[in-house]
Structure 1
Amino acid sequence: MGFVVFLLVLVGLNVWMTQRVLSAGPTLDHKGLLVAGIWVVPLMGALIARNQLRARTPLVDSEMPPPPPAAPAPATVDAAEVPALALGTCLRNANGWPVLEWPLVEGWLAGINDVQQRQHARLACHRAWLMHLRDAMGPYATLHETEDAFVLSTLEPGVLKATAAFIARSRRRIDQVLGALASPPAGAKSILVVFDDEADYYPYTAAYDADDGEAAFSGGMFVDAGCPHFVTRRDDLSRIEPVIVHELTHAALAHLQLPLWLDEGIAVNTEHRLTGAQRTEHTPQQMHRLHQDFWGDTEIQQFWAGTSFRRPDDGNKLSYDLARIIVEQLAKTWDPFAAFVASARRSDAGAQAAHEALGIDLGALVCALLHRDATPAWSPRPDTLPPPVTAA
């Protein structure tokens, strides 16, 4: 009799734990393995599953009441000198998310002559749009605003405040690292939107992705479309931090309109310097061999144009790594490098600026880094480059 009771309790425990695993949501990985462990290894499997459930950061605690009602998203934005901007005339639905037609907003802002009033009005437009986006994200979403940043997400209040503080601290550190090269827009606040999962993140970023092909996956994306902001997926703060630094660096450099390889190379190196985060899927020796095998005459021209950064294959990660290596080498002598960055242009992938400020040929430099004979076919060729791609 005692064995039967024990068996019933064990089965009940397994059924209950299986239900908890299957309903845990997208933040719990390897659900199938956990369920198998529950039934294959009695008690121990349930204990492992329980520990995994406790360790995960829930998207939303179903037993937690939503935050107090926030101020409703405005229908208009008021400003001196011009009639109010009716948001309904310039707010569109993009894959289920509200997006402002920023050219229309800029046309309205152009009617405000006073520079300070125009900055205040632009900030009000950013705030109003984020409030509409907040409402689309659901009742648990919160828009947290500080002197330096907007943070929109379902993160817990303490994490929201810590994230905003990290953004402010990172802005100051990036200014110190980049010196005169950094120039965030006057009066602007950094904007971070943290989506719960891929199901929300990718439809939103697709609204800003100009590529017709398959976009390469990423941990974050800097959107420089009228209202510069960066987006990422919800995760623990230590994993979001490198994305924040990376995308804040893009924001600080956006005024220079850099070639993509240079923009990404500076962002990756700044990310590593300020957060210590480095992706080490392969050893340096393995990466070197992958570079040697991948890059050819056609691929290197894609790199200079920026299109290789959007490849869905290894060309994506190799493009970021090659950009990192080039910038790491060039930035060892800062003053000439800063002069190069200040004059580099997307139209020729920075080739002329490299000749004038550094006295080098970019194609020859890459050949030397990959231990291959120099060839003119590897130098940027503006006459054959496709339209340059901007940072993402």
Structure 2
Amino acid sequence: MSPALAVFLLLLAALVLTNVWATRRVLRSHEFGNRKALMVMGIWILPFLGAFMARYQFAPPEDSRPAALALPVQGGEQPPAPQVLRMAGLEPFTVRDHLSAPAGLPLMDWQALDHWAGQAPTPEATTEAIALGRRAWLLHLRDAIGPHMHLHESADVHILSPLEPPVAQAMAGYVTKTRQRIARVLDGVARFNPGEKSVLLVLESEELYYHYVGQFYPDGGEFAFSGGMFIHNGCPHFVVVQADLSTIEPVIAHELTHSALSYLRLPTWLDEGLAVNTEHRLTGARRPAQTPQAMHQRHLAFWNAERVQEFWSGDSFHRTDDGNALSYDLARIAVEQLARDWPAFSRFATSARRGDAGAEAAASALGIDLGSFVGALVQASEDWAPRPATWPTQPAQQAAYLHF
């Protein structure tokens, strides 16, 4: 063997061993899946440099444990669910007197909590009192679901889940980063209230997930299958099924967007269009099951002047047939087109009213007829303007927003 070949083989062996070590370090870390995948690609594409970056950007598992300030998450070390809330300047709030369990899982009387907190001497104290009530509810919900559930708390998020401590901590970090990114992407539109934590409920099975979210739908009603849901009933929170964290990332981005927009009371189509586009912007669009041309043909076959009124009222988003997916897709396309002029779109989004599906705001801020605009997307020649008088009921604040 020539000396040059021997040196080459030694360097190749060193490179392979270094890359294998760096890859294992990344895969054993508790970072989220997308970041892991990008770093592993970098390790093998950039000789030695990729491994060097992994060495300093990814802590090994023993260095990734929760910080000392994080709540312990083993069952015996968790704080007990409080029976009474106490704050200076307020009468005690007896928690159990304001809990009900219509589906075997505790629900707080949020109006009673808001009334109690509203008597606090300052707005900051009111926010703190509401936060105490939400935390108390989560602890009672933890006890009701089972000893495998733990409450993890950080500066921006409560996570109630069966996740291991490092995984819960990584998820909390992802939520914090995603809140910041949503605020930047939807500049002037998205808003997270100061002092208000995001609340994430991770459930271990689809059976428990659908049992829980079923409380927020009319008795006996059907609802579309989903991978996550933002619940706006009382305590805004979002619910997902436990899965690989890389699978949950898009759900978190989608539902956090709903949370950041909830103060606007947007028309459903606008709310969902913003959530889907923001999700794709932050986590990447999923590979479509059909080509754009095939989806366009489905739109042409489905939508007509009658069904588009369901789109404007929000009812089509709760269909259990093809109209469900087509509603989300039409909302995505419409918002993607309208948001190209962001300053004008921002004025539109912050003034759109649910009662007319945003028609008046579109004319004022964007200078368009909303019905003609959406009709043109599916080559309709009819008048597709929102007609609230024809809707079965006036659209109300949704109790839940799906991610599927």
1:120 alignment counterpart: 128
Please say if 1:157 is aligned against 2:165. yes
Q: Distance in 2 between matches of 1:287 and 1:278?
A: 15
Q: Distance in 2 between matches of 1:122 and 1:367?
A: 44
Q: Distance in 2 between matches of 1:212 and 1:303?
A: 23
Q: Distance in 2 between matches of 1:306 and 1:159?
A: 36
CA pair 317-279 structure 1, distance change in 2 beyond 3 A: farther
Q: Once structures 1 and 2 are overlaid, which stretch shifts more, 382-391 or 189-198? A: 382-391
Cα contact 1:223–1:229 (8 A) shared by 2: yes
Q: Distance in 2 between matches of 1:333 and 1:290?
A: 28
Q: Which amino acid aligns with 1:387?
A: Q
1:380 alignment counterpart: 386
Q: Distance in 2 between matches of 1:242 and 1:208?
A: 23
- The one of 347, 363, 369 aligned to 1:339: 347
Q: Which amino acid aligns with 2:387?
A: R
1:178 alignment counterpart: 186
Q: Distance in 2 between matches of 1:142 and 1:123?
A: 18
Please say if 1:221 is aligned against 2:229. yes
- The one of 252, 259, 266 aligned to 2:260: 252
Q: Which amino acid aligns with 1:322?
A: L
Q: Kindly provide the CA deviation profile for residues 299-322 of structure 1, in whole angstroms up to 9, marking residues without a partner as x.
A: 100000000000011111110000
Q: Distance in 1 between matches of 2:371 and 2:221?
A: 27
Q: Distance in 2 between matches of 1:163 and 1:209?
A: 28
Q: Distance in 2 between matches of 1:70 and 1:85?
A: 22
How far residue 67 of structure 1 moved from its aligned partner, in angstroms, is: 4.3
CA pair 291-167 structure 1, distance change in 2 beyond 3 A: same
2:324 alignment counterpart: 316
Q: Distance in 1 between matches of 2:339 and 2:351?
A: 15
Please say if 1:140 is aligned against 2:119. no
Q: Distance in 2 between matches of 1:212 and 1:229?
A: 23
Cα contact 2:348–2:365 (8 A) shared by 1: yes
- The one of 254, 262, 276 aligned to 2:270: 262
Q: Which amino acid aligns with 2:278?
A: T
Please say if 1:82 is aligned against 2:87. no
Cα contact 1:80–1:117 (8 A) shared by 2: no
Q: Kindly provide the CA deviation profile for residues 220-253 of structure 1, in whole angstroms up to 9, marking residues without a partner as x.
A: 1111112111001111111111111111111111
Q: Kindly provide the CA deviation profile for residues 322-354 of structure 1, in whole angstroms up to 9, marking residues without a partner as x.
A: 000000000011111111101100000000101
Q: Secondary structure at the match of 1:152?
A: strand
2:118 alignment counterpart: 110
Q: Secondary structure at the match of 2:269?
A: helix
Q: Secondary structure at the match of 1:191?
A: strand
Using the aligned pairs only, state the percent identity: 50
Q: Distance in 2 between matches of 1:232 and 1:210?
A: 20
Paired residues in the alignment total: 326
2:29 alignment counterpart: none
2:305 alignment counterpart: 297
1:44 alignment counterpart: none
How far residue 217 of structure 1 moved from its aligned partner, in angstroms, is: 1.2
Please say if 1:206 is aligned against 2:188. no
Instruction: State the superposition RMSD in angstroms.
Output: 1.5
Cα contact 2:158–2:197 (8 A) shared by 1: yes
Cα contact 2:179–2:256 (8 A) shared by 1: yes
Q: Secondary structure at the match of 1:94?
A: coil
How far residue 89 of structure 1 moved from its aligned partner, in angstroms, is: 1.2
- The one of 278, 287, 290 aligned to 1:282: 290
How far residue 180 of structure 1 moved from its aligned partner, in angstroms, is: 1.4
How far residue 68 of structure 1 moved from its aligned partner, in angstroms, is: 3.5
Cα contact 2:224–2:324 (8 A) shared by 1: yes
Q: Distance in 1 between matches of 2:291 and 2:76?
A: 50
- The one of 342, 354, 368 aligned to 2:362: 354
Q: Which amino acid aligns with 1:384?
A: T
CA pair 254-210 structure 1, distance change in 2 beyond 3 A: farther
- The one of 89, 92, 107 aligned to 2:100: 92
How far residue 384 of structure 1 moved from its aligned partner, in angstroms, is: 1.6
Q: Distance in 1 between matches of 2:250 and 2:312?
A: 25
Q: What runs of 5+ residues in structure 2 fail to find an aligned partner? A: 1-73
Q: Distance in 1 between matches of 2:307 and 2:190?
A: 30
1:167 alignment counterpart: 175
Q: Distance in 2 between matches of 1:337 and 1:305?
A: 20
Q: Which amino acid aligns with 1:365?
A: F
Q: Which amino acid aligns with 2:345?
A: F
1:21 alignment counterpart: none
Q: Secondary structure at the match of 1:179?
A: coil
Q: Kindly provide the CA deviation profile for residues 109-134 of structure 1, in whole angstroms up to 9, marking residues without a partner as x.
A: 12112111111111111111101111
How far residue 198 of structure 1 moved from its aligned partner, in angstroms, is: 1.5
Runs of 4+ off more than 3 Å: 66-69
Using the size of structure 2 for normalisation, the TM-score is: 0.78
